[in-house]
């Protein structure tokens, strides 16, 4: 079982994917910190609107530009930082605006798009535009940023499919070929398909209100000059994702539901022919057999050593509760490994302390960058 | 709340009447009329905090108090039906237990139903459904999916159901999408009302916004975890829900609180043991110290949460159980304050 350092050897992009609430943001930040400590110039991108990454890196806020994390912070934590750690939080709307400015043939077309109400909606609200812009920013940083490694924390989509399909869906929407045809009342389509279409349009207008249709038509007209540029760029983004230097890591928790989602997500990666690197399971309870802790009568053994029957019983009960969780975790992780047909399952134990700062990140790194044997040793408190 | 006890049981969607074995009695601590007497309760919070478990627990609790309750899922993941080890329910109101129904609200189905209710001329509906351009338009209209989803929730909460032979519910509970999408989801009606300035959908969107922000009949419960960042996010979420969406935040449920099993002096003893012993005693002592440390830091988070939100904070215990099934939710149901 490899460490994250080995998995990411020679990679220039690492994409952490998984469902919400499994510690993806923290894991991304920990991976970036660990790789930077080894001497690389690393940038971590987060899309989470909750500013968690900024919190965990001790930055008051993150903007839509990469900012370097103060090296003094690592010194304070006693971390040897051989490389550089940079971080940014994606502002989907700002990125989309920049992209429009770059793709527009002239200022007038640019402003027509930026001022369109449909555009304003999709750039900030349409599901998928965040994901698409994350890819876009990733692409931009990859080609222009001069980083050795980019670590992307994906948004907390509940449905993994959304995330992978986002670029395609959004370009389809922007292209909207069939729609644009129908928008023009005198277009070829109207002649071919005849009255049926205009009736449908009429009914739809009645359902949603006239303005909306007019805005949509205006949007597609304004966008028409940029469609080719968008398509070309989307193609390059897609090939970057499939590049052998890109590595997808699936992040999950040890409970049944996040494990199921990790399996599902892995299947989607394989179907999309995207490079899967391994899976990181957070908050794992390590089982006692790995801790060499099997014993016949624990309460009696504890009572003898503690000299307190009641405390011994509570300690033993508590241990039994933890063991039950550990057995569940082991079962779920076995299932995960066999479903994914991978031995690259990195288990990060449920740490005693809540991880929300640089100190916590380095605690996680001790596990992410260790071998499997070292991880068990550490979890047992022996290393 | 009105009682429907004398009515002939309504048959929604031909499921007929099912007989249920009496469920295990829920041991209640106190009644919670301010929350469960509303018509709609939205359960929200970030991903992975246990929204579904809390939504189902609230549903079980309301059902045990005799309220006809439906738990709505909007993520199409069938988490609720799976919890009851029931086949997927889809866009149907299916009874899980006595007085407790479940539905998975699919936006496409909601759209279809909306059109059916709006257009009385059958030929026109058929043409619309067959039309590819209609599907394109519906998919391309920002927020329309969310809007029709909220529209369906509204429809379920009506005493005079729009859907033919629809059942009357006393309480509708929504297992909302994970935030940051959550606030956006609830804001959709208002946003939509401002985009579509004319036409029937404009006034309908306004009506939905009034429904969501009707603090007397609609409430929200935020689910949080006792950790630093989830607590920060719950405080921000409460502020956004109140100030930006304008809904009532009735509860913050702090989920997964560890019991305080050990005292400080005991932890010291265990700490000494962990350092000198090997094997099982050591592992057990370490587990106890973990428990002690987490229980303590969680109480600090609880105190911080209480200071940081206006709504009453209620705690739900961490359940040392491998999977959170319906029996686990039933345990929590009795502890809901």
Tell me the DSSP string of A4-27: HHHHTTT-SEEEEE--TTSSHHHH
Q: In chain A, whose CA is at the least distance from the CA of B280?
A: A293
Instruction: Please enumerate in sequence order all residues whose Cβ is within 8 A of that of B75, keeping only pairs 6 or more positions apart, or say none.
Output: A158, A159, B175, B177
Please indicate whether residue B326 or residue B26 has the higher confidence score (pLDDT): B326
Sort out which chain A residues have CB atoms less than 8 A from B79's CB and list them: 257
Q: Return d(Cα B272, Cα B67) in angstroms, integer.
A: 53
For chain A, percent of residues with pLDDT exceeding 70: 77
Alpha-carbon torsion, ordered B120, B122, B125, B130, to 10 deg = 180
Report CA torsion sign: A192, A193, A194, A200.
Answer: negative
What radius of gyration, in Å, describes the C-alpha atoms of chain B? 23
Q: What is the pLDDT of residue B184?
A: 75
Instruction: Please enumerate in sequence order all residues whose Cβ is within 8 A of that of A108, keeping only pairs 6 or more positions apart, or say none.
Output: none
Q: Return d(Cα A73, Cα A67) in angstroms, integer.
A: 14
Q: What is the pLDDT of residue A213?
A: 67
Sort out which chain B residues have CB atoms less than 8 A from A56's CB and list them: 229
Q: Quick check: ipTM above 0.90? A: no
Sort out which chain B residues have CB atoms less than 8 A from A121's CB and list them: 142-143, 191, 195
Sort out which chain B residues have CB atoms less than 8 A from A326's CB and list them: none
Can you read off the two tokens belonging to residue A282? Answer: 């957070």
Q: What is the pLDDT of residue A295?
A: 67
Q: Return d(Cα A15, Cα A163) in angstroms, integer.
A: 12
- Report CB contact under 8 Å: B136, A178: yes
Answer yes or no: is pLDDT of B17 > 90.
no
Strand A67-68 versus strand A345-349 pairing type:
unpaired
Q: Return d(Cα B279, Cα A381) in angstroms, integer.
A: 11
Query: What's the rounded mean pLDDT across residues A199-210?
Result: 70
Strongest mean pLDDT among A137-141, A246-250, B189-193, B232-236: A246-250
Phi, psi angle pair for B260, to nearest 5°: -90, 95
Name the residue among A90, A93, A12, A99 with its Cα closest to residue A45: A90
Q: What is the pLDDT of residue B208?
A: 94
Can you read off the two tokens belonging to residue A111? Answer: 């402003």
Name the residue among A362, A352, A313 with its Cα closest to residue B293: A352
> Residue A212 — pLDDT band, cuts 50, 70, 90?
low
> Residue A60 — pLDDT band, cuts 50, 70, 90?
low
Strongest mean pLDDT among A182-186, B15-19, B163-167: B163-167
Taking only the tens place, the pLDDT of each residue in A296-312 is: 788 898 999 999 999 99
Q: Return d(Cα B81, Cα B320) in angstroms, integer.
A: 22
Taking only the tens place, the pLDDT of each residue in A234-275 is: 788 888 888 999 999 999 999 888 898 899 889 888 888 889
Q: What is the pLDDT of residue A56?
A: 66
- Report CB contact under 8 Å: B178, A380: no
Q: Using alpha carbons only, give the angle B50, B52, B57 rounded to the nearest 5 degrees.
A: 95
Place of tokens 């309220």: B67
**Among B50, B54, B74, B140, which would you mutate to test the A interface (most chain A Cβ atoms within 10 Å of its Cβ)?**
B140
Taking only the tens place, the pLDDT of each residue in A307-326 is: 999 999 999 999 999 989 99
Query: What's the rounded mean pLDDT across residues A190-213?
Result: 63
Taking only the tens place, the pLDDT of each residue in A327-358 is: 999 999 999 999 998 888 999 988 877 777 88
Rounded to the nearest angstrom, the minimum Cα separation between A333 and chain B is 13
Strand A149-153 versus strand A276-284 pairing type:
unpaired
Sort out which chain A residues have CB atoms less than 8 A from B54's CB and list them: none
Please indicate whether residue A66 or residue B42 has the higher confidence score (pLDDT): B42
Q: What is the pLDDT of residue B18?
A: 47
Q: In chain B, whose CA is at the least distance from the CA of A204?
A: B134
Answer yes or no: is pLDDT of B162 > 90.
no
- Report CB contact under 8 Å: A356, B273: no
**Among B133, B254, B274, B302, which would you mutate to test the A interface (most chain A Cβ atoms within 10 Å of its Cβ)?**
B133
Q: Return d(Cα A270, Cα A175) in angstroms, integer.
A: 27
């Amino acid at each position: 079982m490899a460490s994250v350092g080995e998995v990411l050897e020679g990679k220039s992009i690492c994409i952490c994917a998984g469902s919400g609430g499994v510690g993806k943001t923290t894991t991304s930040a920990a991976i970036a910190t660990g790789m930077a400590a080894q001497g690389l110039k690393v940038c971590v991108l987060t899309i989470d609107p909750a500013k968690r990454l900024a919190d965990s890196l001790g930055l008051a806020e993150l903007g839509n530009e990469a900012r370097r994390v103060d090296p003094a912070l690592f010194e304070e934590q006693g971390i040897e930082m051989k490389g550089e750690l940079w971080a940014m939080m994606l502002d989907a709307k700002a990125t989309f605006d920049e992209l429009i400015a770059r793709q527009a043939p002239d200022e007038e077309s640019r402003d027509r798009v930026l001022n369109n109400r449909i555009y304003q909606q999709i750039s900030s609200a349409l599901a998928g535009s965040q994901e698409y812009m994350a890819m876009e920013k990733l692409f931009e940083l990859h080609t222009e940023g001069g980083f050795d490694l980019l670590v992307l924390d994906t948004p907390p989509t509940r449905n993994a499919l959304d995330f992978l399909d986002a670029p395609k869906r959004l370009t389809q929407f922007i292209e909207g070929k069939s729609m644009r045809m129908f928008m023009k009342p005198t277009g070829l389509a109207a002649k071919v398909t005849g009255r049926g279409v205009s009736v449908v349009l009429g009914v739809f207008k009645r359902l949603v209100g006239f303005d909306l249709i007019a805005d949509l038509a205006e949007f597609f007209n304004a966008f028409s000059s940029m469609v080719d540029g968008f398509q070309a760029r989307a193609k390059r983004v897609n090939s970057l994702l499939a590049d052998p230097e890109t590595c997808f890591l699936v992040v999950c928790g040890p409970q049944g539901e996040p494990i199921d989602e990790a399996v599902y997500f892995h299947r989607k990666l394989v179907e999309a022919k995207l490079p899967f690197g391994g899976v990181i399971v957070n908050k794992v309870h390590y089982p006692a057999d790995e801790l060499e802790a099997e014993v016949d009568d624990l309460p009696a053994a504890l009572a003898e050593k503690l000299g307190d029957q009641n405390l011994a019983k509570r300690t033993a009960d508590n241990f039994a509760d933890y063991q039950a969780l550990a057995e569940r975790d082991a079962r779920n992780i076995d299932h995960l490994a066999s479903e994914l047909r991978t031995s690259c399952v990195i288990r990060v134990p449920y740490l005693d302390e809540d991880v929300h700062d640089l100190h916590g990140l380095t605690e996680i790194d001790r596990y992410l960058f260790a071998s499997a044997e070292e991880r068990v040793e550490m979890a047992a408190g022996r290393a | 709340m009105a009682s429907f006890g004398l009515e002939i049981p309504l048959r929604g969607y031909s499921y007929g009447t099912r007989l249920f074995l009496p469920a295990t009695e829920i041991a209640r601590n106190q009644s919670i009329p301010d929350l469960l007497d509303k018509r709609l309760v939205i359960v929200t919070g970030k991903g992975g905090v246990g929204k579904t478990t809390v939504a189902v627990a609230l549903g079980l609790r309301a059902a045990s108090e005799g309220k006809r309750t439906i738990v709505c899922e909007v993520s199409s993941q069938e988490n609720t039906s799976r919890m009851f080890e029931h086949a997927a329910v889809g866009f149907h109101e299916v009874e899980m237990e006595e007085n407790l129904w479940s539905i998975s609200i699919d936006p496409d189905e909601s759209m279809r139903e909306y059109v059916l209710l709006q257009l009385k001329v059958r030929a026109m509906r058929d043409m619309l459904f067959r039309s590819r351009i209609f599907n394109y338009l519906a998919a391309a209209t920002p927020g329309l999916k969310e809007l029709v989803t909220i529209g369906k929730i509204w429809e379920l909460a009506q005493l005079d159901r729009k859907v033919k032979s629809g059942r009357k519910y006393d309480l509708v509970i929504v297992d909302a999408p994970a935030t940051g999408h959550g606030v956006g989801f609830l804001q959709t009606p208002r946003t939509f009302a401002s985009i579509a300035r004319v036409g029937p959908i404009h006034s309908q969107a306004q009506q939905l916004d009034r429904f969501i922000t009707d603090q007397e009949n609609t409430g929200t419960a935020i689910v949080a975890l006792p950790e630093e960042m989830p607590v920060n996010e719950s405080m921000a979420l409460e502020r956004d829900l109140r100030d930006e969406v304008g809904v009532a935040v009735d509860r913050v449920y702090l989920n997964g609180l560890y019991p305080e099993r050990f005292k400080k002096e005991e932890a010291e003893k265990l700490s000494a043991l962990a350092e000198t012993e090997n094997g099982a005693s050591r592992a057990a002592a370490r587990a106890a110290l973990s428990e002690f440390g987490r229980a303590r830091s969680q109480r600090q988070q609880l105190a911080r949460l209480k200071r940081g939100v206006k709504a009453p904070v209620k705690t739900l215990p961490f359940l040392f159980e491998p999977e959170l099934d319906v029996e686990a939710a039933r345990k929590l149901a009795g502890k809901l304050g």
